[in-house]
Structure 1
Amino acid sequence: MAEELDAEEAANRERVPRFRSYIHGDREEAAERLHKHYFQERPMYPDKTFRRRFRMSEELFLSIVEDISNYDAEPLPKKPNGSDIARLYNTHEEKHGFKGMLRSIDCMHWKWKNCPVAWKGQYTSGHQGHPTIVLEVVASYDM
C-alpha cells in the first residue's frame, strides 16, 4: 500500500509545471550604482571599462538616454478601433479589390551580433541558438 502511495505522489510531482524563479532587481539601486560607477565627477571605473561592458561609448549611451527622456509623443495604439478597421478595409478594397483584409504582418529574427553578455539569456531562443531581436512589421496604406 505504501509503495502505491509513493508511486502516486511521484507521478503527481512529475505533472507539476516548473517555472523560472523571479529575482527582484531594484531598478533605483541599479541606476544609482551605474551613476556611481561611471558618471560621477570621479567615477569608480575608467571609460574603457564602460565601453567593454556595454559595447558602446558613454557619449552614445547618454545620447540614447536623452532621446528617450525627450520622447513625449503618444504611443501608437495596440489595437485599431472600429473606425480604423473600417477605413483600412475600404482602402485595401479600393486599391486591390480584396474585401476583409486588415493588414499584413511579417516577423523576422534579426541576429544581434553585439548583444551584451549580461542580456544574452533574455534574447536567445532555443531554435535560433544566438541572441536575436524580433522585428515585426505591420503595414497599412496610411503609415
Structure 2
Amino acid sequence: MDWYDHIVHAASSASDDGEKWLLFRLTEVKRQMPKRSGSRPGRRPNVNRNFRFGHEKLLQDYFSETPTYDDNHFLRRFRIPRAMFLDIMQELESSDDYFQLRCDATGKVGLSSLQKCTAALRMLAYGASASSLDENLRIGESTSLLTLRNFCKAVLNIYGPEYLRAPAPEEVNKLMHQNAVRGFPGMVGSVDCMHWVWKNCPVTFKGQYQGKEGKSTIVLEAVASRDLYIWHAFFGCP
C-alpha cells in the first residue's frame, strides 16, 4: 500500500466534509498521474530502441565493404584509424564479458560491441554528452556512461602494462643517444606544452588560471619521442 492508498483509507472512513474534499482531490491527482509500467514499480516503461537497427546503421556507415564514410571521415570522427579501432574492439571482446553480444532474461539481443566501443570513443574524442548518442547508436544515457567506465577500465587492464609504464633502461639510452645526435647530450626529451581551456573552472580559482586571453586554462605538458611514444605527461595541478 503506497502513500496514496494510506490517505484514501483514512479519508474514506471520515465524515468531515474537509476530509471528504481531500479524498476527492487525491482521486483527481491520482487520475492525472502518468501510468508507469517499467521493470520496477514506479518506473517508466523502457524505450524500445531497436538495438539491431543502430548496429546495422553503424555497420553500413563505417565498417562495411563499401562504407558511407571513408577512412578520412573515420579518422576525424574517432581520432584513431579504423584498423586500430577494430583491434581494440577485438581485444575488449575477448577479455571483458561486458563487450560481448549478450541477451537479457527475456531473450532480447542487447547492444553490440561495435555500438559500445563507438559510444565510448565518441565521448572521449568529441566530449559528447551521453544523452546525445541515443538517436544514432540507440544507446541510452545511463548505458553510455556505464560503457565509458568499462571501456576505460578494460583499456587500462589490457594496454597498461605495455604503454602505461616507466621507460626501460635500454629505451632511456636510445632516447639519450637520439638527442645527443641532435646536439643535446644528456637530454631524455624536450617538453612541449599547450593551454587547455578550463570551462568549468571554479570562481575561486579563476584568478590563478586566467591568462592574457581572459580565459581560465590549464597547461598540458608532454615529452614524446619520434615513434610517438609519450614518456611524460602533466595536465596541471587541478
Q: TM-score range by the shorter chain?
A: 0.3 to 0.5
Bigger radius of gyration? 2
> TM-score, normalised to structure 2's length?
0.29
More helix by percentage: 2
> TM-score, normalised to structure 1's length?
0.43
